């Protein structure tokens, strides 16, 4: 997981550098009030959806979970940056007060904003692309279950509202 964490940090820094001061301001301000931790997870098991990344907000802290194998298996860098940028955009919207608990509206607005900032949309091209990914992901999880299998998203998000 250490290699993946190193990759992740590199991509996080890359993402942060690309954000404008106007974007960074509300994110930094929000994270000062509600400090954030990023967790790399073996599996995203918080609910039925299994996104590549997810934010959870508590009054005094923020948890952002990411699917670890995503940062090990995907290329190019841009698709990894897109996932980090997407989560940071949610935090931006928290900071500006635009965030809404209506999941669909929040997703659409977040995607639009991140596109506006020049990031790719973190999504599959088509069903074949998604099936191919699920197969590769399954192989990775089977191969790494003994070492990382306990690093589940629910372990972290169980503690944050
Ligand atoms: Zn989202």
User: 68 CA distance to ligand 1 centroid (A)?
Assistant: 17
Each residue's pLDDT tens digit, 11-43: 999 999 999 999 999 999 999 999 999 999 999
User: 87 CA distance to ligand 1 centroid (A)?
Assistant: 6
Q: Are 89 and 112 in contact (CB under 8 A)?
A: no
User: 3 CA distance to ligand 1 centroid (A)?
Assistant: 25
Tokens of 100: 């809404």
User: 120 CA distance to ligand 1 centroid (A)?
Assistant: 13
Each residue's pLDDT tens digit, 111-121: 999 999 999 98
| Prior bond of 76 cis (ω within 30°) | yes
Q: Which residues pair with 39 in a beta bridge?
A: 65
CB atoms within 10 A of CB 59: 7
pLDDT of 159 > 70? The answer is no
User: 50 CA distance to ligand 1 centroid (A)?
Assistant: 11
Q: Are 153 and 54 in contact (CB under 8 A)?
A: yes
User: 6 CA distance to ligand 1 centroid (A)?
Assistant: 23
């Amino acid at each position: 997981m250490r290699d993946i964490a190193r990759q992740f940090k590199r991509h996080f820094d890359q993402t942060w550098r690309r954000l404008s001061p106007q974007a960074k301001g509300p994110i930094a301000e929000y994270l000062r009030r509600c400090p954030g931790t990023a967790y790399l997870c073996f599996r995203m098991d918080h609910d039925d959806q299994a996104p590549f990344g997810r934010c959870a907000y508590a009054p005094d802290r923020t948890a952002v979970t990411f699917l670890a194998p995503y940062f090990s298996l995907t290329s190019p860098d841009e698709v990894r940056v897109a996932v980090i940028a997407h989560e940071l955009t949610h935090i931006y919207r928290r900071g500006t007060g635009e965030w809404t608990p209506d999941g669909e509206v929040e997703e659409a607005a977040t995607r639009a904003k991140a596109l506006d900032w020049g990031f790719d949309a973190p999504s599959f091209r088509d069903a074949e692309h998604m099936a191919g990914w699920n197969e590769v992901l399954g192989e990775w999880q089977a191969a790494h279950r003994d070492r990382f299998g306990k690093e589940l998203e629910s372990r972290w998000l169980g503690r944050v509202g």
